[in-house]
Amino acid sequence: MRRFPIIFALLAALAANATPAAAASVAVATSVNINKPVLLSKLQDMDFGTLTLSGFTGTRTITVSQAGALTCATNIVCSGVAKQARFNVQGSNNNTVLFTYTGGTLSNGIAGSETIPFTPSGPSSLAITNSGAPGTNFDVGGSLTITSTLAGGTYTGTMTVTADYQ
């Protein structure tokens, strides 16, 4: 039993003489990058003008370039003023915006009528060179696949453009 008081006394003495370890600290830089939301607005609708079909069979492709140039196919007479679609994108400076395009079909609005397949074409990405307004304008073209059996009339449809940071 004598050992217990001796061990206890030794432990108490050690605890009294022990010094706590020195604390260490270091400073760390902290930062955050804030991006404004991507804003996309339409400036101009696309127009392929007027197409007059003239004695062909099968299909033909009509194209409006991103610069607004109309390429008309053989046996189709193109008239009127063609226009590419135009958009404005705004966001945060020094970021890249990626674009996706969804086409579909143009329809003359008559139930059961034929449709015209539409495929948009535009830039896949764009570097934002300023924050907010005025933003950057960009153009989108597209192509139509015309069949020789289409009914006459005005065909309309929509294209969806999606923009997001890379």
Condensed to tens digits (0 to 9), the pLDDT of residues 79-133 reads: 999 999 999 999 999 999 999 999 989 999 886 678 999 999 999 999 998 888 8
| Residue 143, in any domain of the structure | yes
CB 109 within 8 A of CB 101: no
Residue 3 has a pLDDT of 62
Give the domain range for residue 72.
36-165
CB 99 within 8 A of CB 121: no
- Residue 17 reports pLDDT greater than 80: no
**What is the model's pTM?**
0.78
Q: What is the mean pLDDT of residues 37-64?
A: 95
| Residue 136, in any domain of the structure | yes
Number of domains the chain contains: 1
Residue 102 has a pLDDT of 96
| Residue 7, in any domain of the structure | no
- Residue 12 reports pLDDT greater than 80: no
List Cβ neighbours of 54 (8 Å cut-off, separation of 6 or more): 75, 76, 77
- Beta strands 136-147 and 85-90 are antiparallel
- Residue 57 reports pLDDT greater than 80: yes
